[in-house]
Structure 1
Amino acid sequence: MKPPKFLIPSTPFFSEMRKRINSHFIEVESKPTGGIRLYLKATIILSFFIGMYVHVVFFTSSYIFISLTECMLLGIATAAIGFNIMHDGAHGSFSKRAWINELAGLSLNVFGANVFMWKSKHNVIHHTFTNIEGVDDDIDAKPFLRLCDNQKKYQIHRFQHFYFWAVYAFLYMYWIFFTDYKKYFTGKVGEISIKKMIVLDHITFWGFKLAHIMLFVALPIYLVGFLPWFIGFMTYALCTGFIMSIVFQLAHTVEDAHFPMVDTATGMLEDEWALHQLKTTSNFATKNKMVSWLSGGLNFQIEHHLFPHISHIHYPAISKIVKQVCEEYDIRYNEYTGVRFAIVSHIVHLKQMGMR
């Protein structure tokens, strides 16, 4: 399958936005990467995760309520590492030093996934061809969910706005135990071929998969037994999966998000790349500092999609510039003021996709 093509920009909209944001970093005398603020944040999150892992595995409480609470907290910490450390690292925005970005990105491998596959799926395909059916793997939840009009509809989709919570919760396990391997053996993300892996990539893939099994399956079973491990791991994995899934879905599968169609005759899309990103993406709860802190700024999804090389710690500042330029060029800026409003919009979207 050939990737679709975008229109050539017809206005200086995006070039003007880039110019103003570059000027912003010059004025505040700051680099667009994370720096010491992000290093401190990463240290706090990693320390919490390690402490929680050690306690729940090696000093397991005899009270099941405490143990399950700790497993849920471990899931929250895992999602926070993915949002704040891995995500910026994989985009090269965690640090100005390439080796630190690589190390931050590798945190994903510790949790059973693979950063090589992630970069192909997320950085290259999702960030370029957002919400395009058959190309963007992030909107492919078939047959469980129907997320856009040009996906096949099944009778079960009439109820997807009720059961989507369970689907999202299982997506983390589906990712690390199935889809990663599917991409590895097929060499594709959906219908798009990924870059050929070198020997080190293969070693890293299998080495970290084995390490994950040892840390999150074999060792806990050895220390606490199969049934306690199973209950604890399911609690942890379901919590991780739901948090990671809902954050990404609230940014792209809501009522205001578009799902552009490719012209089959020309292979062209209807907009230039920057306009495409604005039409397919939405922000939520940007005034909520706790949501912004835990989600790694992914509630500023518009800024992230337009400027993925900029660390999330700068999104609140540059969002003002993005909004201003959008207003000047009369371009819609999709945003929900609170998480609850974004969730309601997501549920309404799912209901609409299940009914029509």
Structure 2
Amino acid sequence: MSTALIQQKSASNKPIFKKADDDRFSKTLAQRVDHYFKETGKSKKGGWEVTFKSTFLLMLFGVLYGLLLSNWFNPWGTFLIGLLLGLSHGLIVFNIAHDASHNALFKSHHLNRILSYTFNLVGSNLYLWNLSHNKTHHSFPNIADFDPDIHQQAPLIRMSPTEPYRWYNKFQHLYATLLYLIFSIFLVYVKGLKEFFPSSKSKRWLGIDQPPFREYVILFFTKLIYFTYTLLIPIMVLDVTWQQFILGYLGIHFILSLFLISVLIPVHLVDESEFGTVNLEGHVVDTWTIHIFKNTIDFARKSKLANFLFGGLNTHIVHHIFPNICHVHYIALSEIVKQTAEEFQVKYHEESMWGAIVSHYRLLKRMGSEKGSNHDLNPN
């Protein structure tokens, strides 16, 4: 095991990022973003754009569900409606639940709180999302033992240089896509339930010993609602055979999984990411802002369609630095971020969507070799 890996594994407390005496880059970036909103007179929240989008997506969800249960279509038509309904789950997560959980959708904290429960509507869980994503991932992205997002695929897929190497990881760039097909099934049926009964490692990631009793009640109540409307009612109502239902249900999850994966994974887990290390004293070698730039990539940055569909998650650097700003501003803000980074000679990673996906598979191939275990780890 490398020195860097030993240092990473031995750090038991939360990492401490380097504090520059005069972090002009971060200050300048914040000032320029504030100036943008003062100059344009826009709110940092969503305004009418997200009011329209949120209303449209929730109505689309309701209409598609009604059409699914109508039995107006043959089995292939029913599958197509079910597929669109499944994809609407992803759109709701990207565009409503995610921003609402960051209190970025509307000025009203109460309204954001209500809409953030759309996570539960589509089979996820707001409480665990706030812990694993907002609190942990956003604080320590790509830092082993502290960012659960780089460990949840292990041991079948090795994403991080600090994950133990196993012989079958050599082939992971070949079989990973097959595992990605069940990503949404894993999120709904495994991840959420497993983290409500945390192991010692996940307790460290989430920062809790056990969720409050209230959250167990919410978990099981909302899971019951989810399974009732996605499984029980369709099985009882749809005029299809049970074989057709199972094949359709799995097919919808397969395509939804690829949709989610193609947006969520390439923003951090790409070949350009350096992965943070923690020394024996618990310190990270970079400032928090520099660490974000080293471990985050933007793709399709200028695309209005990508911003609309993905809730701005494709402009991920802006999101990590300013998570409380609504995604409708991300295209404009990403230009400010890029220009400021170039001015301060900070590397800005940008790719096409396809380029980011290809870079992810390059990472998989590199992490699938023992030689890759020490790549880009800095023990200093």
Which bracket does the TM-score occupy, shorter chain normalised? Answer: over 0.9
What is the deviation of 1:198? 4.1
Pick one of 35, 52, 58 that aligns with 1:40. Answer: 52
Are 2:147 and 2:205, in contact at CA under 8 Å, matched by a contact in 1? no
- The residue identity in structure 2 corresponding to 1:261 is T
Tell me how far 1:223 sits from its aligned partner.
Answer: 1.4
Tell me the CA shift for residue 70 of structure 1.
2.2
Kept after mapping to 2: 8 A contact 1:278/1:332: yes
Pick the aligned partner of 2:298 from 280, 283, 292. 283
Listed as ranges, the matches of 1:133-148 within 5 Å are 133-140=144-151, 141-148=153-160
Match of 1:6 in 2: 17
* Secondary structure of the structure 1 residue equivalent to 2:368: helix
Quote the Cα distance in structure 2 between the aligned partners of 1:260 and 1:31: 34
The one-letter amino acid of 1:328's match is E
Paired position in structure 2 for 1:326: 341
**Residue 67 of structure 1 corresponds to which residue in structure 2?**
78
Deviation for aligned residue 1:199: 4.6
Query: One-letter code of the match for 2:197?
Result: F
**Matching residue within 187, 190, 207 for 1:178:** 190
Which residue of 2 is the match for residue 15 of structure 1? 27
Alignment of 1:1-356 (within 5 A): 1-10=12-21, 11-59=23-71, 61-62=73-74, 64-140=75-151, 141-186=153-198, 189=202, 191-195=204-208, 197-224=211-238, 226-263=242-279, 265-336=280-351, 338-355=352-369, 356=371
CA–CA distance in structure 1, aligned partners of residues 72 and 249 of structure 2: 13
Give 3-state SS (helix, strand or coil) of 2:27's partner.
Answer: helix
Q: Report the alpha carbon displacement of residue 155 of structure 1 after superposing the two structures with TM.
A: 2.2
Q: Please state how far the C-alpha of 1:312 moved relative to its aligned partner.
A: 0.4
**Alpha-carbon distance in 2 for matches of 1:193, 1:69:** 38
Unaligned stretches of 5+ residues in structure 2: 1-11, 372-380
Distance, in Å, in 1 between the alignment partners of 2:204 and 2:211 is 17
**2:20 is paired with a residue of what secondary structure?**
coil
Structure 1 position 39, deviation (Å): 1.0
AA in 2 matched with 1:294: L
For residues 60 and 151 of structure 1, the distance between their equivalents in structure 2, rounded to whole angstroms, comes to 50
| In structure 2, C-alpha distance between the alignment counterparts of 1:273 and 1:40, rounded to whole Å | 35
Say if 1:119 and 1:160 are closer, same or farther in 2 by CA, change over 3 A.
same
Rounded to whole Å, the distance in 2 between the matches of 1:258 and 1:100 is: 38
Q: Distance in 1 between matches of 2:140 and 2:105?
A: 23
Whether the aligned pair in 2 keeps the contact of 1:121 and 1:189 (CA below 8 Å) is no
- The change in CA–CA distance for 1:255 and 1:175 in structure 2 (over 3 A counts) is same
- d(CA) in 1 for partners of 2:114 and 2:339? 36
Q: Give the C-alpha shift of residue 253 in structure 1.
A: 1.0
Report the identity percentage: 29
Quote the offset at 1:197 in angstroms: 4.0
Normalization by structure 2: what TM-score? Answer: 0.88
Q: CA deviation at 1:231?
A: 2.1
- Greater than 6 Å deviation, 4+ residue runs: none
TM-fit CA distance, 1:247: 0.8
| Equivalent residues of 2:301, 2:314 under 8 A apart | yes
Change (3 A) 1:190 1:202: closer
Distance of aligned partners of 1:194 and 1:176 in 2 relative to their CA distance in 1, 3 Å threshold: farther
Distance 1:109 1:29 in 2: 34
Whole-angstrom distance in 2 between the partners of 1:342 and 1:84: 21
Question: Which secondary structure does the structure 1 equivalent of 2:197 belong to?
Answer: helix
Which whole-Å CA distance do the structure 1 matches of 2:203 and 2:313 have between them?
24
Gap runs ≥5 in structure 1: none
Contact 1:251 1:301 in 2 (8 A): yes
Which letter maps to 1:235?
G
Classify 1:145/1:278 alpha carbon distance in 2 versus 1 (closer, same or farther; 3 Å).
same
Distance in structure 1 (CA, Å) of the matches to 2:306 and 2:28: 30
Task: Calculate the TM-score normalised by the size of structure 1.
Answer: 0.94
Q: Which amino acid aligns with 2:67?
A: H
CA contact (8 A) 1:134 1:190 kept: no
1:204-252: per-residue Cα shift (whole Å, max 9, x none)? 2221011111111111111136433322221222222221122111101
**Aligned-pair distance for 1:60?**
5.5
For the residues of structure 1 that align with 2:202 and 2:62, how far apart are their CA atoms?
32
How far 1:144 sits from its partner (Å)?
Answer: 1.6
Structure 2: distance between partners of 1:158 and 1:178: 26
- State whether residues 319 and 327 of structure 2, in contact with CA within 8 Å, keep that contact through their aligned partners in structure 1: yes
SS of corresponding position for 2:143: coil
Distance in 2 separating the partners of 1:180 and 1:223: 28
